[in-house]
Amino acid sequence: MILGSGSAWDTACVQLANAARHLGLDDGLHELLRTPRRAITVSVPLLRDDGQLMVLTGYRVQHNLARGPGKGGIRYHPSTDLEEVKALAMWMTWKCALMGIPYGGAKGGIAVEPALLSRQERERMTRRYAAELVPLIGPEKDIPAPDVGTDEQTMAWIMDTYSTHTGHTATGVVTGKPLSIGGSAGRAGATSRGVQLALFAALRQTGRDPHATTVAIQGFGKVGALTAQYLHDAGCKVVAVSDVKGGVYNPQGLNPAALIRHLAEGAETVVGFPGTDTLTNDDLLELDVDVLVPAALEGVITIENADRISARIIVEGANGPVTAEADRILEDRGVMVVPDILANGGGVAVSYFEWVQDMQAYFWSEDEVNDRLRALMERAYSEVAMLATTQGISMRKAAHVIGVSRVAEAHRTRGLYP
Ligand code: NAD
């Protein structure tokens, strides 16, 4: 394994290089697969409620379009930059290929702290950013979805802006929309359901009983909160969760539904929830639990703390939470890592279902969506586990080998234009 510096882009490039070497790809094809097809930076002027003008920077990267239109979330976060968006877009390429979904990989974002903006400011910012992207996105070109700091309302504004510019209602331009404008039943919980399915497959593979399994989850947002709830409902003991302000711990187990209600009723953080002890995000990662689910940001398990991770299984709800160096340490220590492009693939799976329903203008029941999600997740998990076992490689490497090989095959089959 080649080691990188720990940035998301470096980690993504190391993972690709490992897969390319395993597959024996030639240098030219490897470089083609590494290089983003399109990367755009846009300025997003925003008129604040107080009359001041601020100019934000937005990005959209279409990493690879060989297997279909671009697909990937839009992130609003202060540390978002082009390098991070490139890495996230590359992971989307391998994830869609691994999940067997006919999409390429893309990602976008704005460097901004959305919590500091009013709802009206967020709407103006989103619409201006979307207007800049109109020539690039579309149901057959590139289909955004929510990510960190964005939600279904953000998608509704993008859909409306795009539709207004093109002169017709285009529900299929984004996924993760509200149900009232062509969203899919089951999309809101899809990533978390997928994390649960991947985690349960890992428990079965390692002969563990879900009822005797303790779990810590970093991040209590769209992915982390529902993952906590589904795991609790399925019998696991979720002992710790956290958000950007810190974490809460109860060795007897938390009640995620009560915590979700607590936030819905106006609490700004999980910290201070009655009946819990406070702990830091660093402590949470090192907690003595069976399973750790990082579900916040990338690069949280590094060369600094990988030796101190106690969990025997890590299921990556977040994209890129483990750096390439940390990955090697965890592998040497025998920690099983269910990689992001597999573990959180449930989100893009149901985004794909949403797009299919939009294109057909025919909608499925939540049970149908969940059944199809289960089938995709279980097929992808068993393909990865089988390759990892037969070739004696990590789940991470196996997942990348499958994803990268499918994209490489698409390039070979299509040939190079001109
Ligand atoms: P979100 O914005 O809904 O939630 C993010 C959570 O992480 C919040 O609880 C926030 O407080 C916390 N957080 C932020 N910074 C933190 C820090 N420095 N330390 C600890 N916690 C921090 O975002 P989300 O949609 O839940 O996405 C979380 C991760 O899952 C991201 O890596 C995202 O790319 C990935 N992901 C999301 C989806 C999806 O459908 N939303 C799909 C696949 C992957």
Greater confidence, 299 or 6?
A: 299
The protein residue whose alpha carbon is closest to atom 5 in ligand 1 is 221
pLDDT of residue 5: 62
For residue 20, the model assigns a pLDDT of 98
In this predicted structure, what is the pLDDT of residue 3? 46
Task: Give the span between the Cα atoms of 403 and 278, in whole angstroms.
Answer: 40
Would you state the pLDDT for residue 349?
Answer: 98
Give the closest residue (by CA) to ligand 1 atom 41: 147
Tell me, in angstroms, the distance from the centre of ligand 1 to residue 30's CA. 30
Atom of ligand 1 nearest to the CA of 220: 9
Task: Using pLDDT thresholds of 50, 70 and 90, give the confidence band for residue 2.
Answer: very low
Which ligand 1 atom is the nearest neighbour of the CA of 223? Answer: 26
pLDDT bracket for residue 106 (50, 70, 90): very high
Alpha-carbon span 337 to 92, nearest angstrom: 18
Q: Which residues in 237-280 belong to E strands, given as ranges?
A: 237-243, 246-249, 277-279
Q: Which two tokens stand for residue 162?
A: 């795009």
DSSP code at position 330: H
Residue of 74, 227, 244 to test ligand 1 pocket, by largest number of atoms within 8 Å of CB = 244
Identify the CA nearest to 350 among candidates 64, 96, 93. Answer: 96
Q: Which atom of ligand 1 is nearest to the CA of 224?
A: 26
Atom 35 of ligand 1, nearest CA residue: 318
Burial call 296-332: b when 16+ CB within 10 Å, e when fewer: bbbbbbbeeebeebebbbbbbbbbbbbbbbbbbbbbe
Query: Average per-residue pLDDT in the chain?
Result: 97
Going by the DSSP 8-state scheme, the letter that residue 114 receives in this structure is G
Atom 2 of ligand 1, residue of closest alpha carbon? 148
pLDDT score recorded for residue 6: 81
Between the alpha carbon of residue 307 and those of residues 241, 281, 283, 293, 335, the distances in Å are 21, 16, 13, 17, 10
Q: Are 90 and 105 in contact (CB under 8 A)?
A: yes
What's the count of helices (H) and strands (E) in the chain, helices before strands? 14, 12
Among 90, 91, 222, name the best residue to mutate to test ligand 1's pocket (greatest count of ligand atoms within 8 A of Cβ): 222
CA of 173 to the centre of ligand 1 (A): 23
Residues 6+ apart with CB under 8 A from 51: none
In which order are the strands placed within the sheet that holds 70-77? Answer: 38-47, 53-64, 105-111, 70-77, 142-146
pLDDT above 70 covers a percentage of the chain that reads 99
**Catalytically annotated residue among 95, 107, 177, 222:** 107
Question: What is the C-alpha radius of gyration for the chain, rounded to an integer number of angstroms?
Answer: 20
CA of 68 to the centre of ligand 1 (A): 26
pLDDT of 1: 39
CB under 6 Å to ligand 1: residues? 146-149, 191, 218-224, 242-244, 281, 295-297, 317-319, 344, 347
Cα of 117 vs centre of ligand 1, distance in Å, is 19
Show the tokens assigned to 374: 């289960």
pLDDT, average across residues 244-267: 98
DSSP per-residue letters across 225-240:
HHHHHHHHHTT-EEEE
How far apart are the C-alpha atoms of 227 and 174, rounded to whole Å?
Answer: 23
Is residue 107 flagged as an active site residue? yes
pLDDT of 126-174, one tens digit each? 999 999 999 999 999 999 999 999 999 999 999 999 999 999 999 999 9
Ligand 1 centroid to 148 CA: how many Å? 5
Calculate the alpha carbon distances from 213 to 205, 206, 257, 338 in Å: 14, 12, 19, 16
Cα dihedral 19→21→26→32 (10° resolution) = 30
pTM: 0.98
What's the 297 CA to ligand 1 centre distance in angstroms? Answer: 6
- Residue 331 Cα distances to 63, 292, 299, 358, 415, angstroms: 28, 15, 16, 42, 37
Average the pLDDT over 174-203 and give the result. Answer: 98
**Which residues are bridge partners to 248 per DSSP?**
241, 278
CA distance to 41, 42, 200, 264, 296, per residue, from 220 (Å): 30, 30, 20, 12, 8
How far is the C-alpha of 349 from the C-alpha of 346, rounded, in Å?
A: 5
